[in-house]
Structure 1
Amino acid sequence: MSASRKKRILICGAPDLNYIDGSSVWSQTITLALAAVKGVSVDFIAKSTPERLELYEPLKSSPNVNIIDGVTSTLWEGKKHRRLTMPMMAELAVALDNRESYDVVVVRGREIADTLLNYPALLARCWLYLTDVEQDSTKYTQLEVANFVKLAHGCAKILCQSSGFVQLWRAIVPALHESKLVVYSPVIQDIKSAIKPIKNRPARAIYAGKYKAEWMTLEMARVWPELLAQLPNAELVMIGDKIHSDPKQINYVDTMRGLLESTRGLHWLGPMPRKDVQNQLLNCRVGLSWRAESMDSTLEYSTKLLEYGGAGCAAIINRNALHESLVGSDYPFFANNLDEFRSKLRIALTNDDLAQTAADRLKALALEHTFSKRVELLSTWLDEAPAVTKSAPNKVKVVVAGHDLKFFNKIITSLRSDIFEVRCDVWSGHNKHNEKNSYELLDWADVIHCEWCLGNLNWYSKRKKPHQRLVARFHAQEMKLPYMTSSNWDAIDHVTFVSEHTRRIAFSFYPELSFNKTSVVSNYLDENSFVPLKKTGEALFTLGMIGYSPKSKRLDRAINLLESLLQLDQRYCLRVKGSNPFTYSWLLKREEETSYYRNLMARINESPLLRYRVIFDPPGDDVNKWLSMIGHILSPSDAESFHMAVGEGMLAGAVPIIWNWDGALDVWPKDAVFCDESAAAKAVLDLDLDNWMLKSEASRRFVLDRHSSEQTIKSWHNILLRGSPYV
């Protein structure tokens, strides 16, 4: 790669490196290969807290790799997670990119890629590697084809494990430019020049990888005593500890573990670092890579096949079109059933000439997949990737600073256009940040936006340079904290609010504010992500609430409403989507909060009327799909500055039921705002299906007319550019 082009890479993949299998080895290898390219630094998202060193140790040892513990509570507003879901991986990638502006994001996992369709600016820099997909192009539905087309045209590059995957993509997206499709086959470590020939190796077979029904590992272990009776000096080494359950074999895990622990002549070594696995291979004759017949049509081939070849081993593999294309149709150790496997294993352990022929074929294949060659290839690809971290001369350089950017992330994505270059200064708390990083961004910026008026605004307002524009967005929490009062008001060029009533309240707290330096701009509501799906049959009778912490969200009011409805019609229910309040560490420290939720849960569980009619759904990136079950979206809060969940529900066709919190009438339809539960209950009961459908259509129309994303982005362009020489 050219020395003048520095590249920042993010690895965002489904595999968890705390478990050793082919997919996690793939993630480790591509990370190390990219980090070996000159002038590259790599951030790696760990799906769970790194604990096992077998795969993580080489990453930790690389000076160009930074491991990000994806479940760290500071990344999730204080909430703890054991393991990230794929949508969460995508969400974190977006947040990190808003801060770091990556040149390339490597994505492995279909669900991650699908989620990134909502972030086209980021998707445009993604290299997609998708093997968790249907491998028969004729089985794709129209919707699946449409998604593949969007992914293919939206991403930067598609990495294909084999030529078979290239053909799959071409079959599904025939109009795709061929330059987008590249083969990224498995990678192995560089091959040692001196490798012991087969005749000088003991009669030892080896398996390394996961234990799974389709991988035939149970059969390998079961057949070994029979072979040992014929070859008393033979050994079987098995490496790895990831045992998958199998729905067709209830006791598969226990049976597999029992065989690993007790089979005579079988040495189970458990999990090992790749380097140690390689050392084991160097002293074995044959690797076992036999699979179930159901996998013969696969487009993938195993990294282990290459590792066996790179270590000078033969291997027993299935005869299929892919393997024949790799090692030839006359390869001596093809096996497609138990009898063939048993026979070929005996020959491989006893016939030096045939075993050496097979080993030579695999070594020739392995030489095409070495680490050094892959680093060269990746360097070429990175040279082709446009650098986004290098400032373009005509772009307005915007720094977005704040501790919580979740309400601004989609605005950032939209701003990254021909006009703006955006970098993020993500603070770790209201008044905690990396001051060195903040000073570097201060020197770089033309415009500074402080998301929330907290310590970030205080710091930047006292250091802003004369040519810079400083703007901020006020939410509501700021009124309870001292930061805005002690800011340098003369340095603040503009403050925006998400609603008129929030601006009104702010003026009562801060008379220093000049009305001419303020504006009201709606939160960003994404009408492309929130669309009306076909409603379920029970939607008319289903109330929905998104988020119910802290207690000021007033879940009790929603329960009161449901109770009133159930007394007249038993079909009603309430679905509540969001994190359990008791997962928040800050909430657990507040007795009034914990008592509120304990009492509320007891009320639900002890009531015959409510017990089975209140459903708690987990948080997730499936809100639009969840809204297909919801007929009425609730906002029972004591106070809100805007309440995005209401707008998202309305875009998805839910009818709003809003308590009359201060400002609700300024933001939402007046006929959707009610003074008490009885009025809200009457409004719900009065809607038959026809009238509800009319209200549903009107709800989406209201948001598009009053709070469209296009208008929101246009307003932000004006705020950031006002008085700028770039206009």
Structure 2
Amino acid sequence: MSPDHPTPARLTDASGLRVLLYGDVDLNVMDGSATWLPSMAETLARTGAAVDVQLKAEERRDLLTAPLRRLDGVRVLAARPPAGQHAMSPARAADVLQELDAADPYDVVLVRGIHACVELADRKAFEGRLWSYVTEYGYVGEDFPPERVEEISRVADASRLMLAQTPQARAVLEALVPAAAGRTVLLSPMVPDSLVPAVRPDDHGTGPVRLVYAGKFAYDWRTDLMPDILAALQEAGVPATLTMVGDKVHREPEHRDWAAAMRARLESDMPGFEWTGAIPREEALARTAEADISLGWRTPALDLSLEISTKVLESCAVGVPPLVNRTVAHEELLGADYPLFVEALTDSAQDIAARIAAVRHELSALSRRVVEAAEPYRMTARARVVVGYLRRLGLLETPRTTEQVPARTAPRTRVVLAGHDLKFAGELVDLLRDDPTVELRLDRWEGLHRHDEAASRRLVEWADVVVCEWAGPNAVWYARHKRPGQRLVVRLHMFELRGGWLSALEAGAVDRLVTVSDLYRDLTREHLAIDPERVTVIPNAVSLADLDRPAADGRRHRLGIVGVVPLRKRLDRAVDLLEALREHDDRFTLHVRGRMPWEYPHEWRKPVQREAYLDLFSRIGAGPLREAVAFEPFGADMGSWLTKIGWVLSPSTTESFHLAPAEGMVSGAVPLVWDRPGAVGVFGEDLVVADTDAAARRVLEAVADDARWEALSAQARERVRPYDERAVAGLWREALGLG
């Protein structure tokens, strides 16, 4: 079990890195959300950071806080509720957190709980430093109230990172809340490294079967029926005991007599049954470790939960096989053939007792199996994940001292980012918000030609640096109104070269004109009277940290294309490729992600374009491809979508860069890029195909040869590394003059 004075091994020398941790949970109550807080504190301490834990409620008992206070590198701050109250409200907690930060600023403020996170988001507190952990978006398949989605959207907008327990939780969050895409990271529950399995003899299981349950007592947790499992075992002639740990009995509004009945069962004198009440966490873990099987039987209503139970992981870590419902998450953790799964819809206490009796003599092997399953969830492993997130944000570049940490009260470079469409500027916004030496303001233009001129005038008077996203009328306006000594940086994508306004741009006022590829750098130099030395290439950025996710089965037979408007995106080529592939293998499918042409009125009004699309859709709908093409809506959750795609198509006749194939490359998908001007410069000659026939040959050769597929996938991952957000951030810092 955990030692009396744990000293977490530090993974980095993070001198000067300070983290403020707050959970909207009462540590006087022993449940999973409460035990998360000390576990998170210890995990953060293992990264090398100094961690301050702000308590929500006054301490009435120290079952959880006493071990927390003994952790090196962790400081526990007493709750400060208003007079006469036991716990802090979200508003009061926000006041306290902001006061602490004002006195001695933190690098990261990690907060759990929707209400506390919303309060901080609405205050715009801890900009660029807030890590939000929101679990209140429920279960897969649940209808989410619009007001809850709107609340989480506000939190996502205000957060540098959002935390999710599982890939399924992240996928739901990113689908619900576009602002969460790209900033949601996985942080599963963690178990202490010090939880070690008891040594069990090979003949383990020949004595009484010792069952244990530790946690809250609630209707959906089936805790009132667990003694029936004990009784069924004893009636079947299997010696058994049951220990139940905890004292939190839920009131159930829909089952008014349930709590009283539960307490009566806990207080019964049933043979082989023991109720310990509330005991220190270390002792509760010890009771679990002494058992043969832990009970986690739940109602079907909880099978779609997006979370992993910490209790299940702790049981595995000490070598005690858990009895749990068969769910996707549990199958991923324990394997589909794990013998202690409960079929929640059909199994009775007698069925479960029979299942336990059947594995009685396999408990030694099951113990070893579950210990191995728990290894990735140990604190050191989870701390390594957090270190990766800190590095992603530039917080662990070099060992830091207090003197090296920029003071947030020192004068900062004032930067304005102006544009009508900032969808490609996410990495730039994050870079500027992360930088403590920068103060960022946005000038969001209503349209290409429309803006609040009075607001823009105030911003140009305020700014040290102006960045114009798109070389549109915004760039023309800011070049005209630029102040002496002010730096102006303009990013040109593609369509701007055809814009009539570009001739009005005072190129001499532009300190740096950024393009996203070599092709458009050269075209810009040809079309614009600007010093060639002021034109530079900064590619679009992709996030290796966000998009490198485990792939779904069957991806090799799935083609994906993102965006099919305007017509030059050449959806027809993608359909031709699918048709050619299905002549050899009917497992191939095409997934078309994005808006339909009629959703762009300016394109749909063009007769030639409209007729071409109608002919193509008729071809798909009336022929054998009807069941092989999936049209999927536009969404920000590209990371989740790409896990199922093996080939990302780029059949366009013209692109300035084309971000979607590059994003797919991070996930190990292979790009299929049709030859066009500039394609080789972005993707490399060996990843560009001459035509549709060449694309089909490449796919069929790779699908037929595992080694060929793996080589192409690995090549894609390696080729995209120079476009990672961290590398691109360095180029932007130089262009903006930030050093």
TM-score, normalization: structure 2?
A: 0.50
Alignment of 1:134-173 (within 5 A): 134-136=138-140, 139-173=143-177
**Where does residue 246 of structure 1 map in the other structure?**
252
Match of 1:33 in 2: 43
2:378 equivalent among 353, 370, 373: 370
Structure 2 CA distance for partners of 1:288 and 1:393, relative to 1, 3 Å: closer
Alignment of 1:339-354 (within 5 A): 339-349=347-357, 351-354=359-362
* CA-CA distance at 1:262 after TM superposition: 1.1
Q: Which residue of 1 aligns with 2:186?
A: 183
What's the secondary structure of 1:42's corresponding residue?
A: strand
Distance 1:231 1:19, change over 3 A: farther
Counterpart for residue 124 of structure 2 = 120
Residue matched to 1:313: 320
Are 1:23 and 2:33 an aligned pair?
yes
Change beyond 3 A, Cα 1:394–1:209? closer
2:134 alignment partner, one of 115, 130, 134: 130
- Give the conservation status (yes or no) of the 8 Å contact 2:316–2:370: yes
For residues 204 and 338 of structure 1, the distance between their equivalents in structure 2, rounded to whole angstroms, comes to 24
Residue in 2 that maps onto 1:484: none
- For 1:43, the equivalent position in structure 2 comes to 52
Alignment equivalent of 1:8, drawn from 18, 22, 43: 18
User: Aligned in 2, Cα 1:143/1:204: closer, same or farther, shift over 3 Å?
Assistant: closer
Matched, 1:262 2:271: no
RMSD value over aligned CA atoms?
3.0
Q: Distance in 1 between matches of 2:262 and 2:177?
A: 42
Change (3 A) 1:384 1:230: same
Structure 1 residues 453-468: aligned runs within 5 Å: none
Deviation of residue 2 (structure 1)? 4.6
For 2:309 and 2:248, locate their aligned partners in 1 and report how far apart those are by CA, in whole Å: 16
| Matched residue, 1:211 | 217
- 1:53 to 1:268, Cα distance in 2 relative to 1, 3 A: same
In structure 2, the residue corresponding to 1:67 is in which secondary structure? strand
Asked whether the equivalents of residues 198 and 352 of structure 1 are also in contact (C-alpha less than 8 Å), the reply is no
Instruction: Give the counterpart of 1:288 among 295, 301, 304.
Output: 295
Which whole-Å CA distance do the structure 2 matches of 1:392 and 1:46 have between them? 27
Residue 105 (structure 2) aligns with:
101
User: Following the alignment from structure 1 to structure 2, what is the Cα–Cα distance between the partners of residues 239 and 272?
Assistant: 8
Structure 1 SS opposite 2:211: strand
Choose the corresponding residue for 2:340, options 312, 316, 333.
333
Match of 2:88 in 1: 84
Structure 1 residues 64 and 332, CA gap change in structure 2 (3 angstroms): same
**2: CA distance between counterparts of 1:150 and 1:319?**
35
Aligned match for 1:52, one of 37, 61, 64: 61
What is the Cα deviation at residue 200 of structure 1? 2.4
Alignment of 1:486-501 (within 5 A): none
Per-residue Cα deviation, 1:508-555 (whole angstroms, up to 9, x for no partner) = xxxxxxxxxxxxxxxxxxxxxxxxxxxxxxxxxxxxxxxxxxxxxxxx
Identity of aligned residues (%): 27
2:279 maps to which of 256, 272, 279: 272
What's the secondary structure of 1:10's corresponding residue?
strand
User: Deviations for 1:32-56, whole angstroms, at most 9, x for unmatched residues?
Assistant: 2212332x22111212112322211
Q: Is the 8 A contact 1:70 1:84 kept in 2?
A: yes
Q: Deviations over 1:111-167 (max 9, x none)?
A: 111111123241531221111223347733555444333322321211111111110
**CA separation in 2, counterparts of 1:318 and 1:300?**
13
Do residues 220 (structure 1) and 226 (structure 2) align? Answer: yes
Question: Aligned partners of 2:197 and 2:238: how far apart in 1?
Answer: 32
Q: CA 1:143/1:123 → structure 2, altered by over 3 Å: closer, same or farther?
A: farther
Q: Distance in 1 between matches of 2:119 and 2:357?
A: 49
Structure-2 change in CA distance of 1:227 and 1:194 (3 Å):
closer
Letter in 2 for 1:32: E
Q: Partners in 2 of 1:123 and 1:188 — Cα distance?
A: 31
Amino acid at match of 1:118: D
Contact preservation (8 Å) 1:197, 1:312: no
Separation in 2, partners of 1:145, 1:137:
15
Q: Secondary structure at the match of 1:9?
A: strand
CA distance in 2, matches of 1:390, 1:109: 33
The answer as to whether partners of 1:289 and 1:305 remain within 8 angstroms in 2 is yes
Q: Give the aligned residue type for 1:379.
A: V
Residues 199 and 54 of structure 1: CA distance in aligned 2, closer, same or farther (over 3 Å): farther
- Kindly provide the CA deviation profile for residues 79-108 of structure 1, in whole angstroms up to 9, marking residues without a partner as x: 342122233323322222222211111111
Distance 2:351 2:286 in 1: 27
Q: Secondary structure at the match of 2:110?
A: strand
Return 168-177 or 100-109, whichever deviates more: 168-177
Deviation digits for residues 55-82 of structure 1, max 9, x if unmatched?
111111123222222135xxx5xx3421
TM-fit CA distance, 1:420: 8.5
Aligned CA distance change for structure 1 residues 330 and 392 (closer, same or farther; 3 Å): closer
C-alpha separation in 1, matches of 2:142 and 2:197: 45
Equivalent in the alignment of 2:593 = none
CA distance 1:6–1:195, change in 2 (3 Å): farther
* 1:370 counterpart letter in structure 2: R
SS at match of 1:330: coil
Quote the Cα distance in structure 1 between the aligned partners of 2:124 and 2:363. Answer: 51
Equivalent residue letter for 2:156: A
Structure 1 counterpart of 2:310: 303
Aligned to 2:64, the other structure's residue is in SS state helix
Question: How many Å separate the matches in 2 of 1:375 and 1:364?
Answer: 18
Q: CA deviation at 1:395?
A: 7.1
Distance (whole Å) between structure 2 residues aligned to residue 7 and residue 255 of structure 1: 50
How far off is 1:419 after superposition?
Answer: 7.3
Match of 2:39, SS state, is: helix
Q: Which runs of 5+ in 2 are unaligned?
A: 1-10, 412-432, 441-739
- Measure the CA separation in 2 of the matches of 1:193 and 1:222: 28
- Give the Å deviation of 1:250: 1.8
Deviations 1:253-310 (A, max 9, x none): 2221221111412111112223222222222111100111111111112111111111
In structure 1, what is the equivalent of residue 80 of structure 2? 71
Shift in CA distance, 101/9, structure 1 to aligned 2, threshold 3 Å: same
Residue matched to 1:649: none
Change over 3 Å in CA distance of 1:391–1:121 after alignment to 2? farther
1:532 corresponds to: none
8 Å CA contact 2:161–2:184 kept in 1: the answer is yes
Aligned-residue offset at 1:199: 3.8
Question: Residues 124 and 377 from structure 1, CA distance in 2 versus in 1: closer, same or farther, beyond 3 angstroms?
Answer: same
Q: Which residue of 1 aligns with 2:612?
A: none
Q: Which amino acid aligns with 2:67?
A: P
Q: 1:350 to 1:393 in 2, by over 3 A?
A: closer
Q: Secondary structure at the match of 2:267?
A: helix
How far apart, in 2, do the equivalents of 1:381 and 1:320 lie? 29
1:157-216: CA deviations, max 9, x gaps?
A: 1111111111012212346553x2221111112243763257425411000001111111
Amino acid in structure 2 at the alignment position of 1:18: N
TM-score, with length taken from structure 1 = 0.51
- Distance, in Å, in 2 between the alignment partners of 1:84 and 1:287 is 35
Give the direction of change, closer, same or farther, for the CA distance of 1:132–1:394 in structure 2 (3 Å limit). Answer: closer
Residue by residue, what CA displacement relative to the aligned partner does 1:335-382 show, whole Å, maximum 9, x if unpaired?
115744432334425633444454344222211111221222223333
